[in-house]
Amino acid sequence: MAAAAGVAAVLPAGPVASQVRFGSYPFQLGVASGDPSADGFVIWTRLAPEPFAPEALGNTIYELTWEVAEDQAFARIRASGIGLARAHVLHAVHVEVGGLEPGREYFYRFRLGKYESPTGRALTCPVGEASRPLRFAVACCAHYEQGFFSAYRYIADDRPDLVLMLGDYIYEDAWGERRVRLFDTPEAQTLTDYRRRYTQYRTDPDLQAAHAACPWLAVWDDHEVDNDYAGVTGENEVCGGAGVRDSFPGRRAAAYQAYFEHMPLRPSRLQSGMAARLYGALDWGRLARFYLLDTRQYRSVQACPNAPTPWRCDNDRGRKILYSGAGGGGFVDPEEPACKAALADPARTMLGAEQERWLDAALADSRANWNVLTQGVMFVTILESWNGSPRIFTDAWAGYPPARERLLASLARHQTANPVVLTGDIHSFWVNEIANAAGRPFGVELVSSSIATSTTDKSQVLPLNPQVRFHEGNHCGYIRCDLDRDRLRADLVAIDDRLDPRSGRSVLASFEVRAGDPHAHRI
């Protein structure tokens, strides 16, 4: 029997209930699994008969039964136990299931009294040589207001083994011309705000289907907290009537807590509330090692900020925002002398010193056929031309060139086999070839378009960027990958119309990366 771990070491007191009656179905936010290992995974649900009134459950601790079976009918149950739903984490339940067999499919569900959750599907990682190819979906950037989540529905239909979520799972704020539905709170700032945001997302049936389909590996980008934040520096400082500066570290901690409450992650990785160890590696047998990188929590502030506009108004709600000039990315001239010096500063970091050391060690001992860097922001530098003068985007790796060269030097030093970089963030599809400053080719970067966020066409930059093999910025979608020892096949799947909840889909383009060949081939 596998062990069940609770959500936190501190157990608040409260009455315990296992036989209950609610006014409505308590599993309406669905189920999820994540963080797979060779012997288990995390399974998640949140007890929520009234999802937007979590206080209705009071302080009561609910004892949920969970079951993991080899079959969808639960005739062959292989693990079961009790998971406690407690008020201090919004009655979310994270169970770390262990003791299972490697490399196979399982099904799981929760029960409380007469109520039974939907059934989810999870998989354990294989050990040694994988017996079949790995299918994974690459997803990012799901703005709830700007589009329906058809891309998530199609990801579930593809029946992948893993979903890699590269960040911007939620958006903290509203913008855009055409909105198919609305957030129920203004820009998220507090724990209550962020919790409402995740709750609203999890009511979406297409998102629930993608969570139930297979385990997720998730990293965050900026919008889980604040646009373009860097470390403990927010994009801007909100001034209320009295001009009070908001406390960004406290806001970030609230956002991190709500994230961990709602994602199928091992709860031990939320360290103190103020910090979280999100980064880590996962071995899919010998086939692939996935490196989940945190490109937000430890990074230096963006280099050479644009001359700040002293005030701008939040056009939705009329609040005034003081643009600090300290945080946030911009398009800057990399040849401008002061900016050039800032960009060249080796002290500036994307991953932070500790994560860099961890990544170097994890690359050093990898024996995987493929090494997949799973992360938020564009890795190759995209050069733009603004009225004839060059521009780069400082929020991406282009704004941290020494940090990127250090990572590439690690890959070279350890002769890392078949590196692939997976990227989100910019609401458009890209297939890029990676090279270091000396022009040595390393491998391929695949950039997924957004699940639902309005897209950005950058076709005009293609003549300046021969490292880009493909770009399309007019469709939302995701990337479906099929990986075996010899090749990675990537299908760039486009959603016909993000404004249509029943949108169709099509494959925009397919690329192949062959083992031992650092180039992308269109097929």
The nearer residue to Ca ion, 54 or 328, going by C-beta atoms, is 328
The nearer residue to Ca ion, 168 or 445, going by C-beta atoms, is 168
8 A C-beta contact, residue 303 and residue 399: yes
The nearer residue to Ca ion, 6 or 399, going by C-beta atoms, is 399
The nearer residue to Ca ion, 124 or 300, going by C-beta atoms, is 300
Stretch that binds Ca ion, among 60-68, 106-114, 221-229, 316-324 (CB under 5 A): 221-229
The residues pairing with 134 across neighbouring beta strands, listed in sequence order, are 483
Between strands 41-46 and 115-116, the pairing is unpaired
User: Which residue's entry shows tokens 């985007």?
Assistant: 393
Alpha carbon distance 49, 28 (integer Å): 7
The dihedral built from the CA positions of residue 296, 302, 306 and 309, taken in this order, carries a sign that is positive
Q: Which of residues 63-82 bind Ca ion (CB under 5 A)?
A: none
Residue count, binding to Ca ion (CB under 5 A)? 4
The least distance separating Ca ion from the CB of residue 221, rounded to whole angstroms, comes to 4
Q: Give the amino acid at 206.
A: D
Alpha carbon distance 459, 480 (integer Å): 23
Alpha carbon distance 355, 92 (integer Å): 29
Applying CB under 5 A, among 221, 226, 261, 472 the residue interacting with Ca ion is 221
The least distance separating Ca ion from the CB of residue 83, rounded to whole angstroms, comes to 33
8 A C-beta contact, residue 102 and residue 124: yes
Between strands 216-218 and 520-522, the pairing is unpaired
Between strands 487-495 and 477-483, the pairing is antiparallel
Applying CB under 5 A, among 158, 193, 222, 445 the residue interacting with Ca ion is 222
With CA atoms as reference, report the closest residue to 217 among 126, 125, 285.
Answer: 125
| 226 is a contact residue toward Ca ion (CB under 5 A) | no
The least distance separating Ca ion from the CB of residue 479, rounded to whole angstroms, comes to 17
Q: Which of residues 403-442 bind Ca ion (CB under 5 A)?
A: 425
* Binding-residue pattern over the window 174 to 213 for Ca ion, x denoting contact by CB under 5 A: ----------------------------------------
The least distance separating Ca ion from the CB of residue 171, rounded to whole angstroms, comes to 9
Q: Give the amino acid at 488.
A: L
The nearer residue to Ca ion, 143 or 475, going by C-beta atoms, is 143
With CA atoms as reference, report the closest residue to 349 among 313, 414, 401.
Answer: 401
* Binding-residue pattern over the window 149 to 168 for Ca ion, x denoting contact by CB under 5 A: -------------------x
Positions in the binding site for Ca ion (CB under 5 A): 168, 221-222, 425
